[in-house]
A and B are shown apart, each in its own frame.
Chain A
């Protein structure tokens, strides 16, 4: 499988500030990465599909101007939560698709707390 890392693993920020979360594919060149959000004791909700070299595809109900995604290289995708509010506090997880096999491997997640 693929090894995926995320940074930071947790972050606390003040309301109104922006936070950038990095997702790295350490041993696999990923043309496609995914960003999920998970609230406590709930399932994962797909936010967007990140495509290397092109614009991300957002799921219905996810504000693209609030959750900026950049996939500038085959090993790095970033999610920036802009003007964060307490309701954005959540566990954000990225994943890498292995393409033909359709298997997805997940990063360890980033816990965001907005105060």
Chain B
């Protein structure tokens, strides 16, 4: 399957620091999305980046996409304790509406 792999699997930082998570995938995509999931809850959509885009910003979030390396990164700047969650990337399968999720990064921001 086209499941993305994320690294690190877990990340622990101090409040105010930046957090960077990486996602790699296997085949060509049209879109890549990042989601956040608080423990035991549903997913919150963060950013969608298309294959012809290289970078997108939303508030404290910055997403980059390198299609030549089949990788994406999510940067959270000036992290807060409330950013503590699991973060997943999801890539579409062959231009369909189906998305396959990566393994996720568990981020813990210490106050």
- Also in contact, A103 and B40, with CB within 8 A (given A32-B97, A43-B3, A44-B88): no
A47 shortest CB reach to chain B, Å: 11
Contact B42 A108 (CB under 8 A): yes
B69 shortest CB reach to chain A, Å: 21
Contact A105 B45 (CB under 8 A): yes
Q: Which of the candidate stretches A12-20, A70-78, A79-87, A94-102 sits at the interface with the other chain?
A: A94-102
Q: Mark contacts of A14-47 with chain B using CB atoms, 8 A cut-off: 1 yes-contact digit, 0 otherwise.
A: 0000000000000000001010100000011110
A-B residue pair count with CB separations less than 8 angstroms: 56
Q: How many residues of B sit at the interface, in one of the four size bands? A: 20 to 34
Q: Is the interface of B mostly helix, strand, loop or mixed?
A: strand
CA distance A36 to B100 in the complex (A): 10
Contacts of B48 in A (CB 8 A): 101-103
Cβ of A67 under 8 Å from chain B: no
Contacts of A106 in B (CB 8 A): 35, 42-45
Contact A46 B99 (CB under 8 A): yes
Q: How many residues of A sit at the interface, in one of the four size bands? A: 20 to 34
Contacts of B41 in A (CB 8 A): 108-109
Among B35, B92, B100, B101, the residue within 8 A (CB) of A102 is B92
* Interface CB pairs A-B, < 8 A, 9: A43-B3, A44-B88, A44-B101, A46-B101, A91-B40, A99-B97, A102-B31, A102-B48, A104-B97
Interface, chain B (partner A; CB < 8 A):
3, 30-31, 33, 35, 40-45, 48, 88, 90, 92, 97-104
